[in-house]
Amino acid sequence: MNPFSSGTRLRDMIRAIRACKTAAEERAVVRKECATIRAAVSENDQDYRHRNLAKLMFIHMLGYPTHFGQMECLKSIASAGFPEKRIGYLGLMLLLDERQEVLMLVTNSLKQDLNHTNQYIVGLALCALGNICSAEMARDLAPEVERLLQFRDPNIRKKAALCSIRIIKKVPDLAENFISPAAALLKEKHHGVLITGVQLCTDLCKVSTEALDYFRKRCTEGLVKVLKDVVNSPYSPEYDMSGITDPFLHIRFLRLLRILGQGDADASDCMNDILAQVATKTEPNKNAGNAILYECVETIMSIEDNSGLRVLAINILGRFLSNRDNNIRYVALNMLMKAIAVDAQAVQRHRATILECVKDSDASIRKRALELIFLLVNESNVKPLTKELIDYLEVSDQEFKEDLTAKICSIVEKFSPEKQWYIDQMLKVLSEAGNFVKDEVWHALIVVISNAPDLHGYTVRALYRAVQTSGEQESLVRVAVWCIGEYGEMLVNNVGMLNIEEPITVTESDAVDVLEIAMKRHTSDITTRAMSLIALLKLSSRFPSCSQRVKEIIVQHKGGLVLELQQRSIEFNSIIERHQNIRPALVERMPVLDEATYSGKRAGSLPPTVSTSTGSSLNLPNGVAKPPAAPLVDLLDLTSDDAPAPSSSDGDFLQDLLGVDLAPIPSLSGTSQAPPSGTDVLLDLLSIGTPPPVQTNPSTPIISSPSQNSQTSVAPLERLSSLSSPLSTQVSSPAGASPIVDLLDGLSPSLSMPDNKAQESNFSDNNGLVYPSIVAFQSGSLKMMFSFSKPPGNPQTTIIQATFTNMSSNVYTDFIFQAAVPKFVQLHLDPASSNSLPASGNGSVTQKFRVTNSQHGQKPLAMRIRIAYKVNGQDVLEQGQINKFPAGL
């Protein structure tokens, strides 16, 4: 005998596994056991097969692979003894699946066992078949199972019934064979058989319309009668569930009746009485009783119309809602959700109770109830419901607020009867849970405000008050900041007072205070700050008395760490200081935002007519009347929306006035028609969207990445060219770019980079085989030239010689050049000629490398580079990307 096969007992193995303190220990034990079992398997050890299979099942449950035991199951099934067969079938169900070829081998054993004289072995085989039966097995074994439906022992009959379900699900064609035996099962007296029989009929109806017709015509009345007997049957202890007789049987019957009654008036009619009886007579105290009622309600809702019964059913659900058991409330809400489609009016009657469930202690119930309320809202009840929900918002859990806020906002948006009410409710939500409000919601609010000229004053004053008390709610602050920027003077002068308002006294400096606080509050994010800066700029022209103060606040950010804010600060400061003449026009109140366009955009489709919509035209000081800035919706788009705006939109530059996103926005098109004198300012403003040039001051940054930078600044041009190429050429022409320098206060123009590069590109020869050398990289002081050559007969490979020149007055030491290429390119770097680079261009370092482009002719070369060196002992790192390789490499 194999010395390993003795092994341990199952019990000992479980103990050993349980004793493991770590997962690694457990793995070790399992590995050892598996090794033993494998050895036993290969020895074909029969004595311990039983025990090994049991162990394997345990190991399988823990999640370890046990495929080597599959054949053992089959062998075990084929043996004669009951225990072996039992463990074999158990293993078959757990370790194998219907997809495996091995399963083919078991069909014969199953067939024999289904005909076995021992009914328990028949039971085992049925059980296994019911769990793993495949379509082929179903075809092979259906006659046996069909025969077993009439077996003398009820235990076998019920198993055969459920096994038939599996068979007809696998092969629906076989359904017709089972119809009459199934109908016979409905006359059973044994509860267990009756349950399975009803279940079989239900599943037959699902897979075969023929069966459905049969049962509808021949069995509905019988079923109703049997159910009536069950309902009125005397107490029977073994099928009792907490005082209710056989709730499972009730439920199965109701389910079958539902299928029969659906879409058939006669059958529905036939079952009305019994449904009413179940609905009224069942004890609703216990879970079992409620399970029956619940099923009964679902059946009533599904069968053909009987309004009396439906009201009864919905009232049962209403009662469920006030049940103490969470589970009951939960299912009731689920069912009411379905019931809304059938009879919304009846559900409306329970609105108050449902509203109570929104305040439930169980989060899952709250969520359902809220969804249900959401479905119940209509024009007539929106006001009281919103009030209730907003009141609850104050006391609700933090984690529920997000859901609740989203739902309230969407209710208010959808059903608001008038604008003032809408604005009021939104302000309430924003002050209560502004941090949970999604961006598009407050964007929409701004659109609505902008469209309600008679409410501007009212709104800005209400926002001013709200911000005093709820200044911690980010989106409230944003809306307030925007409104104060736009309608600041209405706040100060109490313009457009409504009757309901109490007058307030706000000075100009109070208004600026709000903005200053929003700027300085440490929780404010970049969007809020950027919006505040714009609002400040606007106020600077509207409140002349505060102009100086505004300027000071703006200037504070000149040295800010956030580029976006720094740039705005510098630019706005320059507008205030040097461009008084155009300032009032620049900071004019925004034209009314087009609601239709905005909602269209929210829905995901930009209306094609953006550029033709009418609105007040924006007059620029240079006399260029801009066409109405139609896609002003974009003004609100503070989120990153770098999708190219339609190229026809001339007013797009305003987008960038607010455009916070740092992604380059290819909206330069606006400049193309305007004369250069007026354009430069706009162009400057435009560049808010593009990342500010890093090499503003070439001497200071130790780590600079000019090449990369020029790369990104090229991007908008490239994108533009994909929109309409003439525009891009205009914008990049030096004439348009140069005046920017003036406005940016010494910022070097990012747009001019590509031109320089193009000019410096050295076209050595136009001969097809000789490639022009390029200036691959240039920073403040470092220049890298690439020259190319190709070895004969190998078009994929290019030999590149890089020449580095140092223009600065310091020697670069420890000079290292590194390069990275895309996957389809291979790169081989030779050592550099030297690792120190003399100063002032007195000499150079050269380095050769070889690239092999495996997709030569399909994809162009591209390369990322990194250059590290030391200046006066300080490390400097420069990096960039080279895309401008000559074509054909």
Give residues 103-122 in contact with other proteins (rule: CB under 8 A).
120
Sole binder of other proteins in the list 70, 109, 196, 879 (CB under 8 A) = 196
**Long-range contacts for 319-325 (Cβ within 8 Å, ≥24 apart)?**
319/284, 320/290, 320/293, 320/294, 321/350, 321/353, 321/354, 321/356, 321/357, 322/353, 322/356, 323/290, 325/287, 325/290
CA-to-CA distance for 224 and 273, rounded, in angstroms?
A: 9
| Shorter beta-carbon distance to other proteins: residue 333 or 565 | 333
CA-to-CA distance for 40 and 55, rounded, in angstroms?
A: 13
The answer to whether 864 and 828 are in contact (CB under 8 A) is no
By rule CB under 8 A, what count of residues binds other proteins? 80
Q: How far is the CB of 155 from other proteins (least distance, A)?
A: 6
H-type alpha helices, 416-455: 419-433, 439-450
Q: How far is the CB of 122 from other proteins (least distance, A)?
A: 13
Decide if residue 216 touches other proteins (CB under 8 A): no
Query: Which two structure tokens, joined as six digits, stand for 336?
Result: 């009411």
Decide if residue 162 touches other proteins (CB under 8 A): yes
| Shorter beta-carbon distance to other proteins: residue 18 or 189 | 18
Query: Which of 889, 851, 853, 882 shows the shortest CA–CA distance to 866?
Result: 882
Read off φ and ψ for residue 444, nearest 5 degrees: -65, -40
Decide if residue 258 touches other proteins (CB under 8 A): no
Q: Which span (2-10, 226-234, 700-708, 754-762) binds other proteins, by CB under 8 A?
A: 2-10
Decide if residue 302 touches other proteins (CB under 8 A): no
| Shorter beta-carbon distance to other proteins: residue 57 or 447 | 57
| Shorter beta-carbon distance to other proteins: residue 6 or 108 | 6
Question: What residues form DSSP beta bridges with 246?
Answer: none
Decide if residue 288 touches other proteins (CB under 8 A): yes
Sole binder of other proteins in the list 87, 553, 554, 645 (CB under 8 A) = 87
Instruction: Identify residues 357-416 at the interface with other proteins (CB under 8 A).
Output: 361-365
Decide if residue 247 touches other proteins (CB under 8 A): yes
| Shorter beta-carbon distance to other proteins: residue 66 or 750 | 66
The DSSP symbol for 172 reads G
Q: Which span (284-292, 347-355, 642-650, 809-817) binds other proteins, by CB under 8 A?
A: 284-292
Cα distances (Å, whole numbers) of residue 705 to 661, 697, 810, 818, 866: 21, 12, 19, 14, 9
Decide if residue 158 touches other proteins (CB under 8 A): yes
Sole binder of other proteins in the list 131, 599, 808, 810 (CB under 8 A) = 131
Please tell me the chain's helix, strand, coil percentages from 3-state DSSP, rounded to the nearest 5: 60, 10, 30
User: What is the widest separation between alpha-carbon atoms in the chain?
Assistant: 111
Neighbours of 369 (CB within 10 A): 26
Q: How far is the CB of 147 from other proteins (least distance, A)?
A: 18
Q: How far is the CB of 65 from other proteins (least distance, A)?
A: 6
Sole binder of other proteins in the list 272, 277, 287, 846 (CB under 8 A) = 287
Query: Which two structure tokens, joined as six digits, stand for 511?
Result: 């208004």
Query: Which of 156, 197, 166, 155 shows the shortest CA–CA distance to 179?
Result: 197
CA 709: distance to chain centroid? Answer: 32
Query: Which two structure tokens, joined as six digits, stand for 502?
Result: 């109490």
| Shorter beta-carbon distance to other proteins: residue 255 or 407 | 255
Q: Which span (54-62, 491-499, 695-703, 824-832) binds other proteins, by CB under 8 A?
A: 54-62
3-state secondary structure of 495: coil
Decide if residue 27 touches other proteins (CB under 8 A): no
Q: Which residues contact 566 (CB under 8 A, 6 or more apart)?
A: 557, 558, 559, 560, 692
CA-to-CA distance for 624 and 647, rounded, in angstroms?
A: 19
Sole binder of other proteins in the list 45, 113, 188, 295 (CB under 8 A) = 295
Q: How far is the CB of 303 from other proteins (least distance, A)?
A: 17
| Shorter beta-carbon distance to other proteins: residue 278 or 463 | 278
Q: How far is the CB of 233 from other proteins (least distance, A)?
A: 14
DSSP secondary structure, 523-551, as one string = T--HHHHHHHHHHHHHHHHH-GGGHHHHH
Q: How far is the CB of 36 from other proteins (least distance, A)?
A: 9
Q: Which x/- pattern over 331-350 shows residues binding other proteins (rule: CB under 8 A)?
A: x--x----------------
Instruction: Identify residues 165-194 at the interface with other proteins (CB under 8 A).
Output: 165-166, 191-192
Query: Which of 195, 145, 197 shows the shortest CA–CA distance to 170?
Result: 145
| Shorter beta-carbon distance to other proteins: residue 191 or 529 | 191
Query: Which two structure tokens, joined as six digits, stand for 111?
Result: 């067939």
Q: Which span (289-297, 616-624, 659-667, 708-716) binds other proteins, by CB under 8 A?
A: 289-297
Between the CA atoms of 296, 298, 303 and 306, what dihedral angle is there, to the nearest 10 degrees?
A: 70
Query: Which of 276, 284, 286 shows the shortest CA–CA distance to 254?
Result: 276
| Shorter beta-carbon distance to other proteins: residue 254 or 460 | 254
The answer to whether 645 and 661 are in contact (CB under 8 A) is no
Q: How far is the CB of 296 from other proteins (least distance, A)?
A: 10
| Shorter beta-carbon distance to other proteins: residue 193 or 654 | 193
Q: Which span (219-227, 237-245, 604-612, 746-754) binds other proteins, by CB under 8 A?
A: 237-245
